[in-house]
Structure 1
């Protein structure tokens, strides 16, 4: 967690994000900047589907994609749509602590039991589903995954500003991530 920089005032925002939608996102969410009216999205935000995270944003400011762990590997067409047709030039990729996609193997029994009890699946179906899909979504470390996904997206979309941010569940704030 020593890679995280708390954003408590405008001076904390990295210079290369100033004057961009990344700065505006941080000002809206962390610094409680009054909302402006936006006619179209300025940014695409990729973040985890976790229900404990809620961003403070005005309408029309952002496209938001939510998936387990903030894993956007299977959302590239949607990203491309936001860039090509929506005109966004910035992506905020937001990871968070205590992510449920970390150490999925430890949740296997509970996952299977939940599908059997709640979805009406049989044990074999639920186990096959877990074994097939969990490797695609497993995250070893939230920050390491966030940084690797940031690098992957930068390579795929070289003209787009991609910023790794981190949401701490304890204080509901976004943090900048120092990259090596």
Structure 2
């Protein structure tokens, strides 16, 4: 089981994140302790597109890629760009509780009907669209996905610090996921 660590004070941050952009992210968002000015990004944040996730970070501090579930599998060129050209040395993977990408197949009817009603699609096209893409984006559970995605990215980018984090939509804080 993965341990979830609430960050209310600097001392709550794991040592491996001390003096890194991950620490700066947690101090800024959770505690409001960063007033530095940045001229270039130090961090890449991969996070869910959910509108309930709003970060409190300084301008120019991070590149941000938002996608369903925080899934970066289909954004690897952008990740590589942030590392190679942008010079970032750390990636924060931020999932959140109550994510719509968990058990996505259960939302098929709502998804299809929404495309028909809101976008003017015919039902057959909407169903095909869902069935072609839902398996690519569905996740089993938020924490498990974050940890597996972090492990996958560590293999691809071995010199980059990668931190799985979870945004709690109930208190709007970012928690550390301590991997097994």
Whether the TM-score (by the shorter chain) exceeds 0.5 is: yes
Aligned residues: 180
Shift of residue 178, structure 1, vs aligned partner: 1.2
- Pair 1:23 & 2:20 matched: no
**Aligned in 2, Cα 1:3/1:149: closer, same or farther, shift over 3 Å?**
same
Bigger mean CA offset, 42-51 vs 30-39: 30-39
Shift of residue 34, structure 1, vs aligned partner: 3.6
C-alpha distance in structure 2 between counterparts of 1:65 and 1:71, whole Å: 9
CA contact (8 A) 2:2 2:179 kept: no
What 5-or-longer segments of structure 2 have no aligned partner?
none
C-alpha distance in structure 1 between counterparts of 2:106 and 2:3, whole Å: 27
Structure 1 residue aligned with 2:86: 86
Bigger mean CA offset, 84-93 vs 31-40: 31-40
CA contact (8 A) 2:24 2:34 kept: no
Stretches of 4+ moved more than 3 A in 1? none
Structure 2 residue aligned with 1:103: 103
Q: Secondary structure at the match of 2:31?
A: coil
Structure 2 residue aligned with 1:150: 150
C-alpha distance in structure 2 between counterparts of 1:131 and 1:35, whole Å: 46
Structure 2 residue aligned with 1:124: 124
Structure 1 residue aligned with 2:71: 71
**Aligned in 2, Cα 1:140/1:120: closer, same or farther, shift over 3 Å?**
same
What 5-or-longer segments of structure 1 have no aligned partner?
none
CA contact (8 A) 2:34 2:58 kept: no
Shift of residue 105, structure 1, vs aligned partner: 1.2
Structure 1 residue aligned with 2:35: 35
TM (norm. structure 1) is: 0.98
